[in-house]
Amino acid sequence: MSSSDERHDKPDNSAVSRRNFLKGTSLALTIPLVTGGENEVKAAGADVPILGPDKVNITLNVNGAPKQASVEPRVTLLDALRNDLDITGAKRVCDRATCGACTVIMDGKPIYACTTLAIEAQGKKIRTVEGLEQNGKLHPVQQAFWDNDAQQCGFCTPGFVMACTALLEKHPKPTPEQIELGTGGNLCRCGTYHGIKAAIAQASASRLTPRTAPAKLTRGGKSNG
């Protein structure tokens, strides 16, 4: 399953699937290596630096602001957000590209943060649920989830909100098929799908434009979590 119609429309290149994630890891392990420095080696015959296993400094653009962290190259975007940057809106549930609780928007497309390496996310525009609120006002999708009681425990909700936001930015008036594809990569154990679909219908009445730089973060820069 995937967390958006993007991933259904373009399964090969619109997101890092678990399979590609593992293939990439395997590839990195099988490339012949030559020493290139204390913490850096290069693939033999190629001018491609391979970082690690020690920590490396990275910069992530999260909700319009540069964020620095020092992480091992194996660290996922989800772990970097939650553990290093204290941005905890994206949730860890399955940790294997199945449930969508970790969904964030990267360069306009919803992705599973649990199967995206943090170092790969450098140079991309990452948006998390913390970046949706503007000037103390909930984003239309957040407001629609609230109005339609589209959550129970709420653990899946940030991922659903991000998947729905990406869906409506791409398809302001989504068809039932587009809604199915756009939310098909997200699971709600509480079964709030009826409310989520009602929220999408309400939010689709609002004109959504991509947002990258929130004027104000919620709850000191992080959501419940």
Binding site residues, ligand FES, CB under 6 A? 92-95, 97-102, 112, 114, 151-157, 188-190, 192
- Per DSSP, the residues of 22-36 read HHHHHHHHHS-EEE-
> Minimum Å distance from CB 136 to ligand FES?
25
- CB closer to ligand FES out of 14 and 152: 152
- CB closer to ligand FES out of 54 and 180: 180
- CB closer to ligand FES out of 50 and 93: 93
- CB closer to ligand FES out of 87 and 99: 99
Alpha-carbon gap, residue 2 to 163, rounded angstroms: 10
**Taking the mean position of all CA atoms in its chain, how far away is CA 16?**
11
Alpha-carbon gap, residue 86 to 133, rounded angstroms: 18
> Minimum Å distance from CB 1 to ligand FES?
9
CB 214 within 8 A of CB 134: yes
Residue 146 in 3-state DSSP?
helix
Residue with tokens 């936001």: 165
Report the interhelical angle of 157-170 vs 140-147 (nearest 10°): 120
